[in-house]
Amino acid sequence: MGREHFNQVAGVRPGIGYSHAVTAHGRLVAIAGQVAMDENGDLVGGSDARAQTERVFENLGAVLAAAGATFTDVIKLGVFVTDIDILPIVRDVRDRHVDTAHPPASTAVQVESLFRPGYVVEIDALAVVED
């Protein structure tokens, strides 16, 4: 695979569960932020952060597949949560989908709100599919 992960960088604390940088060669796939919305536009999981996160990763997987990619092709995740305290839940679900030995680069940000009330997590992604 034409990828290099930079988990250990001189002068920077090692990434735990993420890479500081990932280089890759191939076709870039940009995945829009996914939320816990079903195919009818309804919120999945109510106020349950784990159930919402599970649906977000289900949606990410479906969109990746539609673009000819998988979670192993993901080089960057952007995580937006309305409460940073749910980050351990997001990480737990994430780690069942990504290659934890070679994790993607990642950003996690607490935001005041997402685009509709009730949503607690949104995740976007960049993937590179090898040619």
Residues 27-75 have pLDDT tens digits of 999 999 999 999 999 999 999 999 999 999 999 999 999 999 999 999 9
Taking the C-alpha atoms of residue 20 and residue 25, their distance in angstroms, rounded to an integer, is 17
14 burial via Cβ count (<10 Å: 0-12, 13-18, 19+): exposed
What domains does the chain contain, in order, with CATH numbers? 3-8+28-129 (3.30.1330.40)
Tens of pLDDT along 73-117? Answer: 999 999 999 999 999 999 999 999 999 998 999 999 999 999 999
pLDDT of residue 129: 94
22 torsion bin: left (phi>0), alpha (psi -120 to 50), beta (else): beta
Q: At residue 5, does pLDDT exceed 90?
A: no
Q: At residue 1, does pLDDT exceed 80?
A: no
Q: What is the mean pLDDT of residues 18-30?
A: 87
